[in-house]
Structure 1
Amino acid sequence: MPASTAALPPHGEGPAGDRAVQQALETAWPADISPVDEQRLRVLGTSLLRADATGVGRARWPRLFDSAEQEIAPAFATARFRVQAVIARRDGPAGRAVVHLVWAGLDRGGTFTDGRITDLQFIRSVTKGVARWNPEFWH
């Protein structure tokens, strides 16, 4: 990342530092997809990460989480999970995108860590004139 990382808040700053993390991420990686697609992808990426980390919303992703995975205890506490920053950017050829998330969470061992990073890849498909973004792969 460029010099903008100097503006990042110290670890443990809490929600007060999230805006600075978001701004640093946007500065380091300028937008290259439409605002509509970016907003859709940000929502999808956040929802998918939350489902994986906390178990909340796994039913929305039946192809990614089978019924056995939905029964597994989540790795992170729902109440102590938050996305600090999220952007969506093009990932190679048109129709491919990556959602880059910076997040914080309390794991089952009781350790709270912020600044966790997850990248989720999505592919755009069009069926009967309706465009959708779908996760490229999982696990």
Structure 2
Amino acid sequence: MLAPPPHGEGMAGDRAIQQTLDTAWPADLDSVDERQLLTAGRALLRADATGVGRDRWPAYFGAAGQEVAPPAFAPARFRIQAVLARRDGAPDRAVVHLVWAGTDRGGTHADGRITDLHFTRTTPAKEGKPAWIPQRHT
């Protein structure tokens, strides 16, 4: 198993983080579901952290005009280092595990941050509608 890179390695360490995740947590989803979940997980985390794209997830963030926590990260100061999607105890549930880095608006930088986003499968995708819906965990 690969050892994760030291904190502060920057983008040079992202590949090692991805390889470590892939080795530690073998794939268990079909490729279509995995692609959908990886895309949705990246977009949802980016929307949460930066505010960009929150309108795409009204059920998750609330309708326009509702009080929502302001984004903590500027889009240019946020990056996803590694991501994978796996089943979450049942065929209709999945978790997207993301490792990411960012510099918050106060100037504090951290890499190796971890976020797990949980999704539930809906009916199969039709006309571009997602087959996986994010679930808020409190």
Same structural fold, with TM-score higher than 0.5 when normalized by the shorter chain: yes
Following TM superposition, by how much is the alpha carbon of 1:71 offset from its aligned partner in structure 2, in angstroms?
A: 6.8
Measure, in 1, the Cα distance between the counterparts of 2:30 and 2:100. Answer: 24
Deviation at 1:72, TM superposition (A): 4.9
Q: Equivalent of 1:121, from 106, 114, 118? A: 118
Q: Structure 1 residue 132 and structure 2 residue 128: aligned?
A: no
8 Å CA contact 1:21–1:85 kept in 2: the answer is yes
Change (3 A) 1:91 1:72: closer
Letter in 2 for 1:133: W
User: Contact between 1:91 and 1:97, CA under 8 Å: does it hold in 2?
Assistant: yes
Deviation at 1:68, TM superposition (A): 3.8
Given the two structures, how large is their TM-score scaled by the length of structure 1?
Answer: 0.88
Q: In the superposition, relative to structure 1, how do residues 92 and 80 fare at CA in structure 2: closer, same or farther (>3 Å)?
A: same
Q: Map 1:12-91 onto structure 2 (within 5 A).
A: 12-66=8-62, 67-68=64-65, 72-91=69-88
TM-score by length of 2: 0.89
Residue 132 of structure 1 deviates from its aligned partner by: 0.6
Structure 1: which 5+ runs fail to align?
A: none
1:122 Cα deviation (Å)? Answer: 0.3
Q: CA deviation at 1:103?
A: 0.3
SS at match of 1:30: coil
Deviation at 1:69, TM superposition (A): 5.6
Distance 1:49 1:26, change over 3 A: same
Structure-2 separation of matches of 1:61 and 1:73: 15
- Name the SS for the 1:64 alignment partner: helix
Question: How big is the alpha-carbon RMSD for the aligned residues of Structure 1 and Structure 2?
Answer: 1.9
Show structure 1 runs of 4+ deviating over 4 A: 69-72
Q: 2:5 aligns with which of 5, 9, 14?
A: 9
Q: How far off is 1:80 after superposition? A: 1.0
Number of equivalences: 134
Per-residue CA deviations over 1:73-110 (Å, capped at 9, x if unaligned) read 31112111000000000001111000000000111221
